[in-house]
Amino acid sequence: MNKEIKLLWELQKIELEENKLTQIFHTLNQKKELKNLHQILEKQVQEFELLKKDLDNKKEKLNQIDKEIKEIEKNLKENEMVLYSGKIKNYKEMETLSKKSKSLQEVKKDKEEILLKYMEDIEELERKLKKISNKIRKIQKEYKEIRLKNREDIDKIKKELEKLKGDRASIIERIKPEYLTIYKKLKATKADPIAKVVDSKCSGCNTILSLAKIQEVSQYTLPVYCENCGRLIFAE
């Protein structure tokens, strides 16, 4: 009697382990951690692209302003050449040219301020981009590592499940059909319907068994059930 239930106990152990591993397998297969990381990565890449676009835009504007300043400098030079050439005949002409120089210088000054602002912006953007690209590299590395670990874990669990399947088949072969029927019936209501008597207690519900029950377990040839939880009990 005990021998048969002990086999059922072994079968139950295998099946519980199979359930546990199957659950872990599903969790790993869902790759939640990888999906989350992928989302973070995508966001960073998006941000990088936006900043890069902004940077290119500002660099283009910087070049444009630089050209404009050079053009103003050229005009200024030409203006001054005329001013100091000695070809000017009257005061009015001189005054017009002086005014033009002054106004060109003011425009130049404004443009230089804008240029400076763009340079600062560009520097700041380049710093941000560097930071994000480092972050992206770090996440990519982490992603690869987790993916590899995930695959290894999945393979390991597949192998363990394969082994348990074999163990289960061989133990089922050793169990008498009538006991298998009892087990299957009990399994419909409980995941672990077989319990051991340990220190006069049922290992399933931890209730102290009556002395009569304990005697039944050791002497009866019929299946004995825990009075409290209804599990099939056996003593080692």
- Assess 223 for contact with Zn ion (CB under 5 A): no
According to CB under 5 A, which one of 72, 157, 202, 224 is a site residue for Zn ion?
202
The set of residues, in sequence order, having a beta carbon less than 8 Å from that of 208 and lying 6+ positions away, is 200, 201
According to CB under 5 A, which one of 69, 104, 226, 232 is a site residue for Zn ion?
226
Min. distance of Cβ 47 from Zn ion in angstroms?
59
Q: Which residue, 38 or 190, has its beta carbon nearer to Zn ion? A: 190
- Assess 205 for contact with Zn ion (CB under 5 A): yes
Residues linked to residue 196 through DSSP beta bridges, in sequence order: 234
Stretch that binds Zn ion, among 43-51, 105-113, 176-184, 194-202 (CB under 5 A): 194-202
Whole-angstrom Cα distance, residue 64 to residue 103?
20
Residue whose C-alpha is closest to residue 127's, from 57, 233, 183, 51 = 51
Min. distance of Cβ 183 from Zn ion in angstroms?
16
Whole-angstrom Cα distance, residue 92 to residue 94?
5
- 194-198 vs 232-234, strand pairing mode: parallel
Stretch that binds Zn ion, among 84-92, 132-140, 171-179, 204-212 (CB under 5 A): 204-212
Q: Which residue, 51 or 224, has its beta carbon nearer to Zn ion? A: 224
Instruction: Give the Cβ contact number of residue 224 at 10 Å.
Output: 24
Binding site residues, Zn ion, CB under 5 A: 202, 204-205, 226, 228-229, 231
